């Protein structure tokens, strides 16, 4: 029996492996393990008996592989083939040192997926044969010691040396796959040129966007590559800089269309150019093999660009706040640096006299309440000052859609010029922090706690955040509503999440609510995210087969639009409740740590309008958040999530029965407090 391990050590390496995987799977006498990180596969491959797909991350590849191999080796000693990118050769060395499998049973297939490996290989091949052999032999000896004897022996004093990657061939049956060199073979070193032909139709994974790109690309198309995750403003500035460079150069006057890889979705047309956006989840090398890359490439330098032989890089952007990660040497410098342009950080050039900066580093609900505070501040204090909000990048689209915020800056991506502006604004006492513990646990609504430092009376009509959804692509939500025939007046959203234990309700309770709403003629839709949260969350298992799942389906703004099309939200104290406050959807929310009076959103000039807040604080402590020590450094976010003065029993939530909530929901829906969506929006 032969076992193949295809490891997604990098998107490029896995794209290189894809054709061979498709062929290997056809041979049922060989078993194929696919260790995936990001790419997904066709169902037909997942169902094959000789294929096992395992999810991994960069930091657990060697552990998972060693567990699999040790399990296999208990009953047999098969030949194993390990396929991986050259940039992760050290990880494979670590794996082999854990397993200590016989050399003659190990076969390595290494794919050159980084510029350093390519440079090293070219340097080795330029050496006289005897010097090359000597260099490889020295490192091969060190590798053997590390794997089979000493284990503590380093490949060099500075860690892994890329020459060691090519020394594997002295110990194991090894083939190196290159994309830009001719084939080379001696007794020890075998280098094979990867095929440049189109990807076979039987490829494991498909991306529907590729076919869009195929019909889009022609001689007038430019590819723009974005490696960094810029804010919308900085992303737009990058695009403008590149377009201005193109217009200023007569050589590129024929370019009329742009493919943007990575970055953020943009308009289909901009400044006379037609634009198609492709997510960076599609490897660039995959696009190359699919024959959908144009000749000209612009944007930021990244590792994958070194694999784009036959394409011309005309512009390389320098990142806002750092030098390029890849140090360009030799032919790569000539390849990459035909022209450099630097992003003009317009925000950093603002006058501190015309700026007021706010920071909210907390979770989604807190950010929404901060937007409510800024909406009120903007209305009550008409000013020419620009409001800048610094927050987690997860909430960028939400913040950009709020007219009260003039500019969003990502929390962990502040340029040098922005930092200088922050310092100057601080000297004028115009920086405001909206995530202090005394604000979060204050005995008043959080939006008002945020505004305490301004010493004014606030109109409750002004505390509801406003969003502009005119630019939102509503296609996915509309298609979901149509697919499930959702009726606006009888659709309820359930945010049944298992996150912070002091705000997590029981599986029994959530299922009782779901069953009751279905039996009462409601269409029940599960919402929530487990993939994009700063802390781990899981969904409660809902067993009713009539319940519809929209879990991990929609962005934050799409969720706001979905709420506008539904009648009721049922949730525990969480971000979606605050988000619902931007709409007129009815709300039923369960509160434990913080009283409902201090959390239910302001709408239509009334705090708690069209909402039922259910306080379930324990008999001894009530809403226990007030006992948290708000002193700086006294508590962390994780501590707050687990806070319970009653010995961390969380009895308030665990003791809440589904029948109790069902009765309260029914009473609310029959009361004058319930206002169907749209009646008073």
Confidence at residue 444, expressed as pLDDT on a 0 to 100 scale: 93
Confidence at residue 288, expressed as pLDDT on a 0 to 100 scale: 84
Confidence at residue 196, expressed as pLDDT on a 0 to 100 scale: 66
Confidence at residue 218, expressed as pLDDT on a 0 to 100 scale: 93
Q: Using 50, 70 and 90 to split pLDDT, how confident is the model at 680?
A: very low
CATH fold of the domain at 2-193: Rossmann fold (3.40.50)
Class of domain 346-462: alpha beta
Distance CA 198, CA 180 (A): 16
Of 92-96, 116-120, 156-160, least confident by mean pLDDT is: 156-160
Most confident segment among 111-125, 174-188, 209-223? 209-223
Q: Reply yes or no on whether the pLDDT at 343 is more than 70.
A: no
Q: Which residues, 6+ apart, have CB-to-CB distance to 22 below 8 Å?
A: 200, 202, 203, 204
Q: Reply yes or no on whether the pLDDT at 344 is more than 70.
A: no
Q: Using 50, 70 and 90 to split pLDDT, how confident is the model at 340?
A: low
Confidence at residue 183, expressed as pLDDT on a 0 to 100 scale: 79
Q: Reply yes or no on whether the pLDDT at 334 is more than 50.
A: no
Regarding predicted confidence, which is higher, 238 or 330? 238
Q: Which residues of 661-676 are buried (b: 16+ CB within 10 A; e: fewer)?
A: bbeebeebbeeeebbb
How does pLDDT run across 496-540, given as a tens digit for each residue? 998 889 899 999 999 999 999 999 999 999 999 886 544 556 889
The residue-averaged pLDDT of 279-303 equals 83
How does pLDDT run across 621-630, given as a tens digit for each residue? 888 888 898 8
Q: Which two tokens stand for residue 185?
A: 């073979």
The residue-averaged pLDDT of 237-245 equals 84
Of 35-44, 63-72, 563-572, 657-666, least confident by mean pLDDT is: 35-44
3-class state of residue 146 by DSSP: helix
The dotted CATH code for 478-669 is: 3.40.50.2000
The residue-averaged pLDDT of 89-100 equals 88
Q: Which two tokens stand for residue 173?
A: 């049956």
Distance CA 56, CA 64 (A): 8
Confidence at residue 535, expressed as pLDDT on a 0 to 100 scale: 55
For 199-288, strand residue ranges (E) read: 221-225, 257-261, 269-270, 273-278
Confidence at residue 46, expressed as pLDDT on a 0 to 100 scale: 66
CATH fold of the domain at 208-341: Rossmann fold (3.40.50)
Regarding predicted confidence, which is higher, 169 or 9? 169
Confidence at residue 471, expressed as pLDDT on a 0 to 100 scale: 83
Distance CA 668, CA 681 (A): 18
Distance CA 334, CA 439 (A): 55
For the chain, domain boundaries = 2-193, 208-341, 346-462, 478-669
Of 294-308, 418-432, 507-521, least confident by mean pLDDT is: 294-308
Percent of the chain with pLDDT over 90: 43
Confidence at residue 634, expressed as pLDDT on a 0 to 100 scale: 86
Q: Reply yes or no on whether the pLDDT at 550 is more than 90.
A: yes
Confidence at residue 269, expressed as pLDDT on a 0 to 100 scale: 78
Q: Do domains 208-341 and 346-462 have the same CATH topology?
A: yes
0.75 cut: is pTM over it? no
């Amino acid at each position: 029996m032969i076992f193949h391990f295809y490891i997604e050590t990098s998107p490029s390496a896995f794209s290189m492996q894809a054709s061979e995987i498709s062929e290997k799977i056809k041979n049922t006498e060989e078993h194929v393990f696919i260790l995936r990180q990001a790419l997904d596969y066709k169902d037909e491959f997942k169902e094959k008996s000789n294929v096992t797909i395992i999810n991994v991350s960069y930091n657990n590849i060697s552990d998972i592989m060693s567990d699999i191999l040790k399990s296999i080796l208990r009953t047999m000693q098969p030949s194993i083939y390990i396929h991986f990118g050259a940039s992760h050769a050290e990880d494979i060395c670590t794996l082999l040192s854990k397993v200590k499998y016989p050399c003659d049973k190990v076969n390595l297939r290494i794919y050159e997926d980084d510029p350093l490996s390519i440079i090293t290989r070219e340097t080795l091949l330029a050496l006289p044969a005897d010097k090359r052999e000597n260099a490889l032999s020295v490192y091969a000896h060190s590798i053997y010691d590390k794997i089979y004897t000493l284990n503590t022996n380093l490949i060099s004093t500075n860690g892994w040396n890329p020459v060691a990657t090519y020394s594997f061939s002295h110990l194991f049956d090894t083939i190196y796959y290159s994309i830009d060199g001719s084939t080379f073979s001696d007794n020890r070193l075998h280098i094979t040129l990867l095929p440049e032909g189109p990807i076979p139709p039987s490829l494991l994974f498909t991306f529907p966007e590729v076919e869009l790109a195929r019909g889009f690309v022609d001689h007038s198309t430019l590819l723009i590559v974005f490696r960094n995750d810029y804010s919308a403003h900085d992303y737009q500035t990058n695009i403008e800089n590149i377009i201005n460079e193109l217009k200023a150069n007569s050589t590129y006057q024929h370019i009329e269309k742009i493919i943007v890889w990575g970055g953020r979705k943009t308009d289909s047309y901009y400044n006379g150019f037609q634009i198609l956006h492709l997510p960076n989840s599609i490897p660039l090398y995959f696009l190359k093999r699919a024959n959908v890359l144009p000749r000209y490439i612009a944007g930021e330098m990244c590792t994958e660009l070194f694999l784009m032989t036959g394409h011309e890089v005309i512009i390389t952007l320098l990142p806002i706040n750092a030098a390029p990660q890849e140090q360009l040497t030799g032919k790569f410098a000539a390849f990459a640096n035909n022209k450099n342009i630097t992003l003009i950080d317009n925000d950093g050039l603002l006058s501190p006299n015309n700026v007021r900066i706010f920071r909210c580093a907390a979770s989604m609900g807190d950010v929404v309440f901060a937007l409510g505070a800024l909406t009120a501040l903007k209305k009550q204090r008409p000013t020419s000052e620009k409001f800048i909000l610094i927050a987690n990048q997860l909430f960028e689209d939400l913040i950009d859609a709020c007219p009260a915020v003039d500019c969003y800056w990502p929390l962990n991506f502040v340029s040098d010029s922005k930092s200088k502006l922050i310092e100057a604004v601080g000297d004028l006492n115009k920086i405001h922090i909206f995530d202090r513990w005394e604000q979060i646990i204050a005995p008043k609504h959080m939006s008002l706690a945020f505004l305490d430092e301004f010493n004014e009376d606030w109109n409750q009509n002004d505390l509801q955040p406003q969003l502009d959804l005119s630019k939102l692509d509503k296609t996915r939500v509309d298609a979901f509503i149509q697919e499930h025939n959702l009726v606006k007046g009888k659709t309820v959203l359930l945010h049944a999440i298992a996150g912070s234990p002091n705000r997590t309700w029981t599986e029994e309770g959530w299922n009782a609510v779901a069953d009751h709403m279905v039996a009462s003629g409601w269409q029940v839709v599960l919402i929530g995210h487990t993939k994009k949260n700063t802390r781990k969350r899981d969904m409660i298992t809902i067993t009713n087969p009539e319940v519809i799942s929209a879990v991990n389906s929609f962005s934050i703004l799409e969720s706001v639009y979905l709420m506008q099309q539904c009648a009721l939200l049922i949730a525990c104290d969480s971000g979606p409740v605050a988000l619902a406050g931007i709409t007129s959807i009815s709300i039923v929310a369960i509160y434990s740590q913080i009283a409902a009076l201090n959390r239910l959103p302001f709408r239509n000039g009334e705090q708690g309008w069209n909402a039922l807040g259910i306080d379930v604080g324990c008999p001894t402590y009530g809403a226990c958040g007030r006992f948290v020590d708000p002193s700086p450094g006294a508590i962390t976010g994780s501590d707050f999530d687990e806070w319970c003065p009653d010995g961390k029993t969380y009895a308030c939530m665990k003791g809440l029965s589904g029948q109790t909530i069902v009765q309260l929901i029914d009473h609310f829906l029959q009361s004058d407090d319930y206002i169907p969506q749209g009646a008073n929006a």
